[in-house]
Amino acid sequence: MGDEHDLDPAVVARVRSDLAELGSDAASAPDVPDGVTSRVVAALRAEPAHTVRRQPLGRLQLFALVVGVGAVVAAVVVGASMAAREPAPTFPAGPTAEQITVARPATTIPLPQPQILALLSQGPDYGPLADPAQRNSCLDRLGYRGTAVLGARPLTMAGKDGVLMLLPGDAPELVVAVVVDSNCSGAHPPLLARTVVTRT
Amino acid sequence: MGTVGGTSEAPQRTDAELLAAHVAGERYAFEELFRRHHRQLYRLAQLTSRNPDDAADALQDAMLSAHRTAPAFRYDAAVSSWLYRIVVNACLDKLRRNRIRPTTTLLEDTCHAGDPTPRVDTAIVIERALMRLPVEQRAAVVAVDMQGYSVVETARMLGVAEGTVKSRCSRARRKLAETLNYFAMADGGTAPSSSPSNPP
């Protein structure tokens, strides 16, 4: 039995391409025997549901929590030392640890990189940020005043409505992908996620 | 099919939203996610298992694993891709652990691919051709060409040498090309008759 090295490369390429397509062609998948589905569903229902207490902190969330707690501790130390030197001053309400931890944007965007890069060749869909003035104000807050948007689409992230926008990176082959809150108002930090992808 | 709760007018949640809801403790969110993808998941399980019983076992194991480890998912890929990968991992692991079992026999010719005429669903034709392969070759080519695993990863999961994976993939691709009449099409000739060639 020969191997593929003596095969027409075009034939090998076609076989591999058809297999890859089958791997993502869910619409053509056949029906599942009822017994299989019901068996899996029964097993899933027997599992305990996740609770907020049981959710383990991701590495990023843990780091952000440490930073937040450290900031609170530092504020307490500074405040105590100042109080020791002068009559009790009045401090404005500072950020809580929770506000500090949630302000740090995620670095993973719930969209495969090929789909992110595909936006570069499509017309931008700004969704809730269709208004140029609002969009430019949002970009200004992010530090991208006057930067051309290379691609965009609405995206839901962790249950929040947002907009994914692609911006030029520090090098020609780099693209910055940011997900901003759909309001992008001044009341909340607008940045939900930020990552850098490399053009292929 | 498969939706639990809600009304028919309610907008369908994305995979990422369902997974986030599951992690947040929503009782039937993961089940809804499974039902949405269970046909493709079972297809992958069948393609990488010795028999339907093994496929059902692996599918259940995989879904329970996904149910439990969902909080660790970082949304760095599509949720569906993550589920597909977990199923294929479970099947390859089962094959590795059961390597001493005799190789399964090929399907009888009643399932042969025949000529892929325009009326025949290409996906079904390819799937049937795959199911004619010995499970070891089928699992290797599904892992590498359909799911995009590297040869190194596939070898590790199957517990075999990298060269073994390469040769299995090569043989599988050759047999698929023969069964699907790709050689005749590459030559620009008409497809041969539907009677299958001698099985290898």
Tens place of pLDDT per residue across chain A (200 aa): 455 567 889 999 999 999 998 988 888 888 899 899 999 999 999 988 876 545 566 677 777 778 877 787 777 777 777 767 656 555 555 545 444 444 445 657 888 888 888 888 888 899 888 888 888 888 877 777 778 899 999 998 878 888 999 988 766 777 888 888 888 755 555 777 877 777 76
d(Cα A6, Cα B166) in Å, to the nearest integer? 15
Q: Is A145 exposed, middle or buried (0-12, 13-18, 19+ CB in 10 A)?
A: exposed
| SS3 at position B71 | helix
Query: A90 with A166, same domain?
Result: no
Residue B193: predicted pLDDT: 36
Residues of chain B with pLDDT under 50: 1-7, 105-120, 189-200
Instruction: Please tell me if residue B80 touches chain A, with a CB cutoff of 8 Å.
Output: yes
Give residue A114's pLDDT. 82
The CATH number of the domain where B22 resides is what? 1.10.1740.10
pLDDT of residue A39: 94
> Mutate which of B51, B91, B167, B173 to test chain A, going by most A C-beta atoms within 10 A?
B173
Is A160 inside a domain boundary? Answer: yes
What is the rounded distance in angstroms from the CA atom of residue A136 to the CA atom of residue A133? 5
Point out the domain boundary residue: B61, B81, B101. B101
- Out of B17, B43, B80, closest to residue A159 by CB: B17
Are residues B16 and B50 part of one domain?
A: yes
Does residue A8 lie within any of the structural domains? Answer: no
Of A26, A45, A52, the CB nearest to B39: A26
Which member of B26, B38, B173 has the closest CB to residue A12? B173
Does residue B115 lie in a domain region?
yes
Q: Which domain holds residue B29?
A: 12-101
In a domain, B199, yes or no: yes
Chain A, 40 to 69: residues with Cβ < 8 Å from chain B are 40-41, 43-45, 47, 49-52, 54-56, 58
CA distance A191 to A184: 8
Which residues on B lie below 8 Å from A28 (Cβ)? 121, 123-124
Please state the domain count of chain B. Answer: 2
Structural domain tally of chain A?
2
By the CB < 8 Å criterion, does A19 face chain B? yes
Last residue of a domain, one of A72, A102, A132: A102
CATH at B164: 1.10.10.10
Instruction: Please check whether residues A131 and A173 belong to one and the same domain.
Output: yes
Residue A33 located in a structural domain: no
Q: Are residues A119 and A82 in the same domain?
A: no
Tokens standing for residue B155: 């070898």
User: Are the beta carbons of A50 and B25 separated by less than 8 Å?
Assistant: yes
| Yes or no, beta carbons of B123 and A44 under 8 Å apart | no
The verdict on B117 and B188 lying in the same domain is yes
Domain presence at residue A4 = no
In a domain? residue A54 = no
In this predicted structure, what is the pLDDT of residue A100?
44
A167 and A114 in a single domain? The answer is yes
**Secondary structure (DSSP) of B9-30:** TSPPPPHHHHHHHHHTT-TTHH
User: Domain check: are B141 and B67 in the same one?
Assistant: no
Of chain A residues 119-178, which have a CB less than 8 A from chain B?
156-159
Q: Which of A49, A81, A102 is the last residue of a domain?
A: A102
What are the chain B neighbours of A48 within 8 Å (beta carbons)?
none
Q: Which amino acid is residue A157, in one-letter code?
A: M
CA distance B161 to B169: 13
Helix axes B79-97, B29-47, angle to 10 degrees: 50
**A58 to chain B: closest CA residue:** B72
pLDDT value of position A196: 76
* H-type alpha helices, B8-150: 15-23, 29-47, 52-69, 79-97, 122-131, 135-141
Size of the A and B interface in Cβ pairs below 8 Å: 153
Q: Do A11 and B183 touch (CB under 8 A)?
A: yes
- Please say which residue of B63, B79, B101 terminates a domain: B101
Listed residues B101, B136, B171: the one ending a domain:
B101
Same domain membership, residue B108 and residue B198: yes
Q: Is residue A182 part of a domain?
A: yes
Tally of CB atoms within 10 A around A178: 24
Q: Are residues B158 and B108 in the same domain?
A: yes
Is the CB of residue B106 less than 8 Å away from at least one CB of chain A?
Answer: no
Same domain, A120 and A191: yes
Bridge partners (DSSP) listed for residue A151: A166
Residue A98 lies in domain: 59-102
Cα(A144)–Cα(B44) distance, rounded to whole angstroms?
Answer: 44
Which one of A71, A102, A133 terminates a domain? Answer: A102
